[in-house]
Amino acid sequence: MPFYETVFIARQDLSATQVEDLTKQFSDLITNNGGKIVKTESWGLRTLAYRIKKNRKGHYVLMELDTPAPALLEMERNMRLNEDVLRHISVRMDELSKGPSAILGGDRSNDNDFDKEAA
């Protein structure tokens, strides 16, 4: 099955437990349609670059998936219909990442390579 990375932004007035419930709801959609959740990261409440639907902040959540395309499309359809989701994006990946995402301070290998070239 192909690998996907999905990031969605939930409204700022939701509590952390409501965001977890929303993430669980989307995870259940994937697993019920034959997919697998590889990694889920909550990036917390972050400031948006511009206002979206009168919100200045949003709860960011990253999900890495090993799922068939129809399951991903169903999850995206539910995200579009859900009023708590401000934005979402899904990207197909060649391979899954190792360790935490760059937002959480992981995968600094590219930074080290750049430093070595500059020296």
Reported as a pLDDT band with limits 50, 70 and 90, residue 107 is low
Beta strands in 25-108 (DSSP E): 36-52, 55-66, 85-93
Amino acid 1 reads M
pLDDT score, position 78: 94
pLDDT digits (tens, 9 = 90+) for 5-56: 999 999 999 999 999 999 999 999 999 999 999 999 999 999 999 999 999 9
pLDDT digits (tens, 9 = 90+) for 51-104: 999 999 999 999 999 999 999 999 999 999 999 999 999 999 988 888 787 777
d(CA 105, CA 26): 25
Rounded to 5 degrees, what are φ and ψ at 69? -60, -40
DSSP assignment letter at 67:
-
